[in-house]
Structure 1
């Protein structure tokens, strides 16, 4: 069995995306952005969900 990938904190995801952490908090409130999960009282992100969200929201260079 493959080792599970670690969960990311909002700070880690914000740094990865180059956004303020507060933007992720607002996106969660508005049901936007990458899918988040609650682990107890903590918010976490699966890296696969972040990558999937990026893929869905990528824009092609042909439109430029």
Structure 2
């Protein structure tokens, strides 16, 4: 939900599930945006960890 487009007085969505969610292998098969995002972020962090640096893998020539 885009907060900028919210009307005055409209309550924000409950983010409790988002704040409490931790990565699990099942997130790769998950159907929610939260599960898919967690799986994608985990994949990116894992790739950076395995390369041994935090350089952008898409721009190796700039390092």
What band does the TM-score fall into relative to the shorter chain? under 0.3
Q: Would you tell me which structure has more strand in proportion to its own residues?
A: 1
Question: TM-score scaled to structure 1, two decimals?
Answer: 0.23
Structure of greater relative contact order (alpha carbons < 8 Å, 6+ residues apart): 1
Question: TM-score scaled to structure 2, two decimals?
Answer: 0.23
Q: Would you tell me which structure has more helix in proportion to its own residues?
A: 2
Q: Bigger radius of gyration, 1 or 2?
A: 2
